[in-house]
């Protein structure tokens, strides 16, 4: 059994964080010492490790508690929703990058942002020997194997929603 100070040290957390977790019911100690100090078991340490992993995903403590105290289906649903939220946030950040590069008027900044433009991508595919028909086959395979990633990729190139819809529709035929 570990005291608050020991478990805090072991996991690189502050004592106040552990006391807060106890207060909100996220991580309660398994026992108390004769002097009424909190004592944490190996099972508590395992739960704290799960809390740390889930916290790294950006989930709120409330959602983490739902996952740990809920059913496996709750866990999967919340994690899938977080993943969808992250994909949307990443797309919004890419759009912000593109807007900043445009406002600065310096296309030399594009490589530092990891933005890939449509022209760059077409040039790469052309250099790889793919003509227009080959690029269509490439899109068809992308759409067939990873439709959501295909959507994200097209968004990252800065295509408009109608253009993405057109490309994806053509890729399904």
Residue 27 lies in a domain: yes
Question: Which domain, by its residues, includes 45?
Answer: 2-69
Round the average pLDDT of the chain to a whole number and report it. Answer: 90
**Nearest Cα residue to 59 out of 74, 43, 81, 44:** 81
Residue 168 lies in a domain: yes
43 vs 117 pLDDT, higher one = 43
What CATH number is associated with residue 22?
A: 1.10.1660.10
Residue 21 lies in a domain: yes
Beta-carbon count within 10 A of 12 CB: 8
Please write the tens of the pLDDT for every residue from 127-148: 999 999 999 999 999 999 999 8
pLDDT-based confidence at 30, cuts 50/70/90?
A: very high
Alpha-carbon distance values, 68 to 27, 74, 77, 79 (Å)? 10, 9, 13, 12
Adjacent-strand bridge partners of 3: 39
pLDDT-based confidence at 166, cuts 50/70/90?
A: very high
Residue 107 lies in a domain: no
Question: In total, how many domains does the chain have?
Answer: 2
Please write the tens of the pLDDT for every residue from 63-76: 999 999 887 788 88
């Amino acid at each position: 059994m570990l005291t608050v100070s020991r478990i805090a040290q072991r996991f690189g957390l502050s004592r106040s964080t552990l006391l807060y977790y106890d207060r909100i019911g996220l991580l309660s100690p398994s026992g108390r010492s004769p002097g009424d100090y909190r004592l944490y078991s190996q099972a508590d340490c395992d739960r704290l490790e799960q809390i740390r992993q889930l916290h790294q995903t950006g989930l709120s403590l409330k959602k983490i508690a739902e996952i740990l105290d809920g059913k496996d289906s709750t866990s999967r649903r919340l994690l899938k929703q977080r993943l969808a939220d992250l994909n949307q946030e990443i797309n919004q950040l890419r759009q912000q990058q593109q807007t900043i590069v445009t406002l600065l008027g310096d296309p030399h900044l594009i490589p530092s942002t990891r933005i890939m433009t449509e022209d760059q991508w077409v040039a790469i595919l052309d250099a790889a020997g793919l003509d227009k028909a080959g690029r269509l086959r490439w899109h068809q395979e992308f759409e067939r194997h990873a439709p959501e990633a295909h959507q994200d990729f097209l968004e990252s190139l800065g295509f408009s929603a109608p253009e993405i819809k057109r490309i994806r529709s053509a890729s399904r035929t």
